Structure 1
């Protein structure tokens, strides 16, 4: 009797697209998905905020060549209205966009993500949401005479009536060290229902913005509001930190590269291979070269100069140190 292959999980991917940098990143995302997952069974939705509501000016993609190429690559542009965040907090697009999706299992990806492997290698459990652990300790700040980190985080769990704060702690980490607390990068997250997840995400984010617990009054919440609310939402739906089955995310299957200089500085040879392969296609090259960082990094080979500056086996521990070297060498672009 032969072993049966696991049943392919059908889910949709959603990212936010706007004019400018995000539209070119969306092209690379869509092209890399097609190149590495030609039989992807779901849909790639690119959620596009519209003028009106919280956007006084239009953030939409106006270049017809970009829109046509995205459609050719299999992406569907999904318009939505941002009511609560918009131009004052564009990170909030990922929260409000979820309401526009079909209510089917979804994976949210930041647009500055490449797909480098087969999604069949990822063991999603959409009933138990999770998110990216590729993050730094950006929030909360430890105030000299203020509450410790545990008090800050617990105040949020208590504010939303969430039990089990102690079970969210990573007790292998020291007391009051930021990694002891469940904190994610919002570059990817998933769940079975974008409607339910998005509604809870919006509720929590608005309350933290408008009526946070008193112990957090001195904490700066921008630009981290989405990442402050996200672990609370994930915990509310019975999820938690990603386990080994999700290792392909931020691993062999996806790469949240942030900027092209950072990609060339620290990512694997496979990531660079996928990037340069999809960008070399003539029909994409004609469009992508209009964006200066892509033109310089990929087509004029400055990315290779960046790559020569760093040892991928011995990178600086903090991203800030990588950025310092790039700026010093005149190779920081965004």
Structure 2
């Protein structure tokens, strides 16, 4: 284990839980800095452990994937109290980096409740106040109908999803939303994998690994024409959650993807569509020189946070009347030469 922060005091609360994000060389290490800074600024009462899981070199990578910016590592550990923990990439690696979130779970303390977040998330409120029921897992509903993509005369949503539930011996019928019509994508359990939680990372991770690798290596027949990448984690995730007795998040979790966390995805999308609260948090946590010196190494952060492109992107949109689909926002940003990843 690595050091806790020397300048960060951790208060005590009754039921702490662990938080984990995954970081590696490149963009994710700078996103992890923003996540950690926002957690400490927005939730000083958080008393759990913040883990930054780091993939290690091995045959699944064609480069060294570890955090390679020493200043970013120092900020994470010594300014924001993160514990950087290694994990091995056994099944995914460079061919499917989204699989990091699956493989990292086994590096966490067994039997301790956890919440996973993608690094492109800001904490904007008191995360420690969220009443997680760790015995009933759930995940983010901030998603669009990205999978499956139906082919003319091919299997429908119901046949496709049922084949997966049948493959793993899960009850398909109880996963459906009875308030939605048949063959409408929201009837079927589908999440964004930007956050999820459970009472034990090892139990969750083992099932996540099993389902994802079996879908990849031996998909049921209705998936023969379906694109599995980059959606594999989001295909397996609802099966994992349903199989562990969970489901769609209730209203008590409404602050996630609301006023407590913000899954921002890219800097252009963040400034275009996210709340004034989220923008204020971002600008406040990136103002200190110790943060600025590190994250400006990542070009989109430098241009959108420090060089004014973010405000230009924000001026293009009315947050109360945003285009219905993300692609429409992207297209408008591209027309104004304000798109970067």
TM-score per shorter chain, which class? over 0.9
Aligned-pair CA distance for 1:54: 1.2
User: Structure 1 length as normaliser, TM-score?
Assistant: 0.96
Structure 1 residue 55 and structure 2 residue 61: aligned?
Answer: yes
- The ranges of structure 1 where at least 4 consecutive aligned residues each deviate by more than 4 angstroms after the TM superposition are none
Matches within 5 A, 1:281-292: 281-292=288-299
Instruction: Return the alpha-carbon distance in structure 2 between the equivalents of residues 209 and 329 of structure 1.
Output: 39
Tell me the alpha carbon deviations over residues 43-91 of structure 1, each in whole angstroms, 9 at most, x when there is no partner.
Answer: 1111100110411321111121111111121111111110100000000
- Confirm or deny that 1:40 pairs with 2:42: no
- 1:236 positional shift: 0.5
* Match in the other structure for 2:77: 71
> How far did residue 8 of structure 1 move?
4.3
User: Contact conserved, 1:121 with 1:248, CA < 8 A, in 2?
Assistant: no
**Number of residue equivalences:** 327
1:243 equivalent in structure 2: 250
1:15 aligns with 2:21: yes
SS state at 2:139 partner: strand
Q: Which runs of 5+ in 1 are unaligned?
A: 1-6
Assess if the C-alpha contact under 8 Å between 2:271 and 2:314 holds in 1: yes
Residue equivalent to 1:31: 37
User: In the alignment, what sits opposite 1:97?
Assistant: 104
Cα distance in 1 between the residues matched to 2:227 and 2:118? 23
Q: Secondary structure at the match of 1:151?
A: helix
TM-score (norm 2): 0.94
Unaligned 5+ runs, structure 2: 1-12
Q: Deviations over 1:133-165 (max 9, x none)?
A: 0001111111111111101000100000012x1
Q: Is the Cα contact below 8 Å between 2:18 and 2:48 reproduced in 1?
A: yes
Q: Deviations over 1:207-261 (max 9, x none)?
A: 0000111121111111100000000000010000000110011011110000011
Structure 1 contact 8–120 (Cα < 8 Å) conserved: no
- CA contact 1:53–1:81 (8 Å) conserved in 2: no
Match of 1:119 in 2: 127
Tell me what 1:148 maps to: 156
